[in-house]
Structure 1
Amino acid sequence: MQKLSLPESITLSDKSTQFLPECCFDNPSISDMDYFINTLSTIKLKGVRPDLIGSIITHYASKLLPHDLAENGPERPVISSKDSPISATASWMKKKFFIETLVTILPPEKDSIPCNFLLRLLRVANTVGVDVAYRDELEKRVSRQLDEASLGELMIPSFSHTCGTLLDVNLVFRMVKKCVNSEEVAKGGAKLTKVAKLVDCYLAEAAVDSHMTLDEFVALGSVLPSHSRSTDDGLYRAIDIYLKAHPGLSKQERKTLWNLIDTRKLSPEASHHAAQNERLPVRAVIQVLLSEQTKLNKHIDWSGSLSSMRSPGTGFDGQARSVSKREINIHQMEIKRLKEDVLRLQSQCMNMERQIEKLLEKKKGYNFSWKKLGILGFKADKIGEIEGESEAGFGLKTPMEMKARLVRGRTSKKWRESLS
């Protein structure tokens, strides 16, 4: 086969090389892989930039595998009765050889090949079962550009018999872990934030699968460092979806899921949803309420200190001072609402104590009382104390004080576990 040679008059400048893939490889006769590699080597000798080499490779691969490398996912062609198992096997082997050869000629530069195209190559590689070395090379290249990936391309189906999920969660976990351990991502916080948002969206999609295990979800949710997420709303959404799809989780498993969340990084909307979420453990709801009260107390302290620094000569008009007072009133009402929620939870805890006391009395046949142990929970007069506190203190000031009141009514280890 004759080797393609470029005319000497062609200068590979930016204007001429942008049409190089179309003019050189639109010929249907150019389908031999060796011929393509030789032609590509000739073009490299002309000093073409790596990104243009990558454009040539992506154009050539899309011409040979139009369905497998489509942007919307692989299209399964209709198999007619004339197709034999031999032809199907031959097609499978041809694709495997093509992907493995393509990986060896990819330019080493980072941005020479788009990340989404690499993910499509990886999807085809998993379909035809390329060797581990070629798959690892593709995973390594994707991990270096994972912040540029789209959610649709990242949702690669699982073709392994050992994986029970529809999506290849382990594949994504390996790429995210390599991305976190890379030096480039460690230096740039913006890239890590993009990867964290992508992982949270992926977890929300994968959580619908009832075959996704708790270990897989926790491993992928915790592989990123805590500073990579500016807010945990996306992770909370994924956890809530997972709880809906897996209603049979035990209390300990639900606690394990909630340990992924930092309540201080939840938005007011997410905190309000979590406080009313019956699928979460009771301890998680209490943590959300305490965290929200702490945020409001800090905000009110800051607003109060700012208003105390104001004077008639500072330039603030009466309208601005009026707005500040309204905001403080709104925060006071919010704190009152949170205090009522805490009191409601305390009342529920006391009712549970009374029920357990009655059950123990019936079961063991003797007069068991929490008062004998000196650890009786919240009494009615204690609740009255909380309600009668001054408005300047806004009830319980710190999370430690509220925590002391909440755990005062707990007794044995078994009872502490029943609250979670």
Structure 2
Amino acid sequence: MNHHHPSPDTTAIFPDNNNPTSLATKCWLDDASILDIDQFVKTLSAIKSKGVRPDLIGSIITHYASKWIPELSPESGQSPIPNHSHQSPPQSATATWLKTRFFLETIVTVLPPENDAVPCTFLLRLLKKANMLGVDSSYREEVEKRVAWRLDQAALKEVMIPCFSHVRGTTLLDVEMMIRLVKRYVEMDVEHGLRSGVGMFKVAKLVDAYLAEAAVDCELGLPEFMELAGAVPAQARATDDGLYRAIDTYLKTHVNVTKQERKMLCKLIDSQKLSMEASLHAAQNDRLPVRSVIQVLFSEQTKLHSHIDWSRSFSVTKSPNPGLDPHERCHSSRELAMVQQMEIKKLKENVSRLERQCHMMQSQIEKLSEKKRGFFSWRKFAMSTTLREISVDGTGFDSSSIGKQTPMKGKKGRSKKWRQSMS
């Protein structure tokens, strides 16, 4: 039996139509008279018509939705709105699922058009619940757009949404959804140009942390990993330590990755952006290709040289010689530039030399592997040759070669007697 409840007086709730107190809002929403979602929508429309700010409308929606579905609330112990109509029979699981799904779809439709009216944490919990219940794709896409707009405010725990697909071979986390969110954030940043560099840095850090968590999944394929890692612009990463950690975790878990795939993964890392600790770890990491390790070592050498040059130039500019005239100072600056050019030339020569050494090492490794494969056949051939050289009488020499022994140096007579005695 449906009971019709009149809409509450919004003027009494919001006297000045613009500054409602949170206490009054919670008392009004906790009223058991608003149990029907249709009644809530009507009441919310009446509140909007009073000119209430969008952020206050968003707080009303989040509080009401958290009362209905505890998973949407940050407090774990919150209970849903109690149903005081004890006369209604208990609903089946299917009826409850359909009712909750309809409730979520309705909540999405009444969200304010302003993107910053609802917190990002609430939107991510709403998206997780919508994926769990199989809400229509149009509603999920709307929530994803809102989340992508504020992705720089998201926490790692909130974006780790499980993949609710039961198809074999699917990942534990919804990596495809994360790829869509990051790509939309980057597109919005390019189109509107309203983002700050700090926001993009936060998203890049979030992506690297997400990749490190998702890399432990054996079902995560290399294309998905590389697509998500490349969705963030390279200049958005202030350091590549997080990306290196994610790639190293992926290589630990996926031991069957080929040599070519390892090279593709390591191309994502900019060795110039690795810290000293990460560079030391990479230099001793046998999971990385040889070329990548050489690049890391060369980058550290370049950093060291640049630091030395900077310190030298700083000392020259900090304490100049007052006895030099402007022409001599100009001459010294030219010499400093020439020295720097010579250093750059030396570094380029070192790079080419290291590359040649890398190719030589790879060829030597291939030769060693071929020798290992042919070791036993070569040994068998050597043993058979030795056995043929051993005589039957056990002397260790071939009888046919006795007369061909080279005599020792000395007089001719002695050599002739040595031959006669042997005959």
Structure 2 counterparts to residues 286-305 of structure 1, below 5 A: 286-305=294-313
- Alpha-carbon distance in structure 2 between the residues aligned to 1:149 and 1:242: 24
Partner of 2:8: 5
Query: Aligned-pair distance for 1:40?
Result: 0.5
- Alpha-carbon distance in structure 1 between the residues aligned to 2:160 and 2:92: 29
Query: Aligned-pair distance for 1:306?
Result: 2.3
Structure 2 counterparts to residues 265-304 of structure 1, below 5 A: 265-304=273-312
Partner of 1:171: 177
TM-score, normalised relative to structure 2: 0.72
Partner of 1:71: 74
Count of residue pairs the alignment pairs up: 334
Partner of 1:122: 127
Q: Share of identical aligned residues, percent?
A: 54
| Residues 185, 192 of structure 1: 8 Å contact kept | no
Structure 2 unmatched ranges of 5 or more: 79-89, 323-339, 368-423
Answer 1 or 2: higher relative contact order, Cα 8 Å, separation at least 6: 1
Question: 1:405 and 2:409 equivalent?
Answer: no
- Alpha-carbon distance in structure 1 between the residues aligned to 2:180 and 2:93: 31
| Residues 271, 295 of structure 2: 8 Å contact kept | yes
Deviations 1:78-128 (A, max 9, x none): xxxxxxx98111111111111111111000101100001000000000001
Partner of 1:150: 155
Question: 1:262 and 2:270 equivalent?
Answer: yes
Deviations 1:182-226 (A, max 9, x none): 034664222111111111111111111111111111010001111
| Residues 17, 51 of structure 2: 8 Å contact kept | no
- Alpha-carbon distance in structure 1 between the residues aligned to 2:366 and 2:18: 70
**CA, structure 1 residues 121+74, in 2 after alignment: closer, same or farther (shift >3 Å)?**
farther
Partner of 2:108: 103
Structure 1 unmatched ranges of 5 or more: 76-84, 315-391
For the residue of structure 1 that corresponds to 2:116, the secondary structure is: helix
- Alpha-carbon distance in structure 2 between the residues aligned to 1:172 and 1:73: 25
For the residue of structure 1 that corresponds to 2:244, the secondary structure is: helix
For the residue of structure 1 that corresponds to 2:219, the secondary structure is: coil
Aligned residue among 37, 57, 72 for 1:33? 37
Query: Aligned-pair distance for 1:403?
Result: 2.7
Question: 1:88 and 2:93 equivalent?
Answer: yes
For the residue of structure 2 that corresponds to 1:253, the secondary structure is: helix
**CA, structure 1 residues 28+219, in 2 after alignment: closer, same or farther (shift >3 Å)?**
same
Q: CA RMSD in A?
A: 3.2
- Alpha-carbon distance in structure 2 between the residues aligned to 1:117 and 1:257: 35
**CA, structure 1 residues 169+73, in 2 after alignment: closer, same or farther (shift >3 Å)?**
farther
In our comparison, the structure showing a higher alpha carbon Rg is 2
| Residues 165, 209 of structure 1: 8 Å contact kept | yes
Partner of 1:306: 314
TM-score, normalised relative to structure 1: 0.73
Deviations 1:22-58 (A, max 9, x none): 0221023422110000010111111110000000000
Query: Aligned-pair distance for 1:404?
Result: 2.2
**CA, structure 1 residues 204+410, in 2 after alignment: closer, same or farther (shift >3 Å)?**
closer
Alignment-mate amino acid for residue 168 of structure 1? D
